[in-house]
Every structure is written in C-alpha cells, then in structure tokens.
Homo-oligomer: A and B are copies of this chain.
Amino acid sequence: MAKMPLGEQTLYIGIDGGGTKCRASIMTADLQVLGTGVGGPANPFQGVQQAKDSIRTAAELALIDAGLPPSAMTELIAGAGLAGVNVPSLYEVMSAWEHPFKEMHLTTDLHIACLGAHNRDEGAVMICGTGSCGYSYVGDKSLFIGGHGFPIGDKGSGAWMGLEAIQAILLASDDLGPKTSLSESIGEFLQASGVMIVDRMFGAKQGDYAKFAIFVVDAADAGDAVAVSIAKEGAAYMSAVARKLWATQPGRMSIIGGLAPRLIPWMEQDMANNLSPALYQPEFGAVYFAKQRFKLANNNQSVLTTAI
C-alpha cells in the first residue's frame, strides 16, 4: 500500500503521564512511532502546573525526535492518560487546560494502560510503579480499585514501600522496632543514619520514597524479615486487587509498572498465574483512545479501520 506523505496524514500523540515521568509518542494512524519524548512527573494530584509543563516538554521532545517542526504541535490529535484524573476535580482542571494540541482526549492512565495491554476495549490491568491501582473494563462497565495516591492509598506501590521502609528504619533507630538491613542499604543511598535520615527526607515527595522500593525487594529476596514483611503486605494487597478484577471476567489481566516484576513472586500463586503479558505500552493505548474519540467527533470511520 502506498504511503501518504506525512504532511497529509492525521498524526496522533499518545501521552502516558505518571507520578515519576511523562512519556509521549507521536504516531501515524497505523501506529508507526515517529518519535518519543520524556518529561517530568505528570500526575496533577502532585501539581497541576507541573503536569501541564511535563506534557508539553514530552511533546516538544517527541516532535524533535520525529524530525517535525514545533509548529506541527497544533496539528496533533492527543490521547492523554494521566494518573490522578480519576479524581473529579483534577479531571476538570486538566480538561480546562488550553493545551497546545489540535485536540486532546483525556482519560486515566489506567484506561490507556488497559487498552494498550490488551489491544482491545475489554481487559484488566494493574499498575505497580511509583503508585498502584487496578482497573477493569468489561461489558461497558469499568471498575477502579485504589489509585488514591500517596500517602493515603497506593498500597504495594514503590512510594508505599519506601515510606514503610523509612518508618521501619526510624523505629529501629529508636530501638522500638526490629533491626533491618534497610538501615544500611537505604542509609548508604541517603548518606545518612538515625535522625539525619529525617533531615534527608525533608520535603520528600512520592517519587522520592519510590526510589527506596528497590532496596526493599532486594532485601526481601535476601530474607531480611522487615523487608519480607513489607513485600508480603504489599503483594497481598495487589493479590486482593487482582482477585476483584478477575471476578469481572476481563478475559485478560496484566500488571505493569517498574516494580511489577519484583512484586509478582510475592503475590498469591493463583492470581500470579492469571497474569498475561501486556501487548503494547500505554502510549499505544492512548492513541487507540484518541482515534476512537477523534472518529466519534468527526464521524470518520476510516480512522478506526487500522486496529492497533
């Protein structure tokens, strides 16, 4: 099939905005990736302006990567899946943004992750990275579990593990909790011990806590009792989330996010066995979503004929 010149095609940008970073990929309608950019945190719960800045940065870098001029920004049909916009007020604030794109279709990071993971409308997905949550979409019904953010929710996530680890280290430093190798590993990372750890944590955010998660799973694998307890509690929560999602009969269920591969071995075996690999990254799910919405708005059936 002869290809259309780029200038004549509708171009999409799939945006996956999480608590640590924002990835944006510019794609053709048949999902050829032309360029990708990465910006900073884009969870509006942590900062609305920061989220907008991170999306814009990621899009600008994706344009450069694609060899497209800055002026092409206003021609892009954006699909954006952002953490935090399951909170109604944040959805409204981000929807009201005077974004730099031709159109922006906004949904949750969970929704685009699910669309991408299964390359179809129905499925279930869990995220276990900086934050944690679960989502299923079956028979026009969606189910959100968790995703309440740090520190009130997101059990099992990297930020949750990091906070649990710091709490355990401080209890141990007061001799009010069991000794743990995390005092050494995280202490060395922070170049601090005891009350100086409090000093280092001054103003720490979700993403700062999430950096400690790798030390927790490493220590858990090595048998440290405190770390094992944290890993087991986190994995038990994610197993309970999986069980709720599986009950909706999603057909396929995946877990994604930086911490996921390390948490799966601690999950309950039957739920771990129900997991399937994610087929595509969330940015593809974001473009899948944008194409659906663009088609609805323009009543242009041809846009959807290329399945992702």
The one of B148, B155, B170, B195 that contacts A87, using a Cβ cutoff of 8 Å = B195
Q: Is A153 an interface residue (CB 8 A)?
A: yes
Q: Is A88 an interface residue (CB 8 A)?
A: yes
A235-280 residues with Cβ-Cβ distance < 8 A to B are: 237, 240-241, 244
Cα A151 to Cα B151 in complex, Å, equals 8
Contacts of A89 in B (CB 8 A): 199, 202
Q: Is A215 an interface residue (CB 8 A)?
A: no
Contacts of A195 in B (CB 8 A): 86-88, 144, 148
A143-182 residues with Cβ-Cβ distance < 8 A to B are: 144-146, 148-149, 151-153, 155, 163, 166-167, 170-171, 174-176
The one of B155, B171, B175, B198 that contacts A149, using a Cβ cutoff of 8 Å = B198
Q: Is A45 an interface residue (CB 8 A)?
A: yes
Contacts of A148 in B (CB 8 A): 170, 195, 198
Contact A196 B166 (CB under 8 A): no
Minimum CB–CB distance from A128 to chain B (whole Å) comes to: 15
Contacts of A222 in B (CB 8 A): none
How many copies of this chain are found per oligomer? 2
Minimum CB–CB distance from A133 to chain B (whole Å) comes to: 10
Q: Is A201 an interface residue (CB 8 A)?
A: yes
Interface residues of A, count at CB 8 A: 33
Contact B87 A176 (CB under 8 A): no
Minimum CB–CB distance from A46 to chain B (whole Å) comes to: 10
Cα A171 to Cα B155 in complex, Å, equals 10
Contact A202 B151 (CB under 8 A): no
Cα A96 to Cα B87 in complex, Å, equals 42
Contact B176 A45 (CB under 8 A): no
Contacts of A176 in B (CB 8 A): 145-146, 237, 240-241, 244
Q: Which residues of A contact B (CB under 8 A)?
A: 45, 86-90, 144-146, 148-149, 151-153, 155, 163, 166-167, 170-171, 174-176, 195-196, 198-199, 201-202, 237, 240-241, 244
List of 6 A-B pairs having minimum Cβ-Cβ separation, nearest first: A151-B151, A152-B166, A148-B198, A148-B170, A87-B199, A145-B174
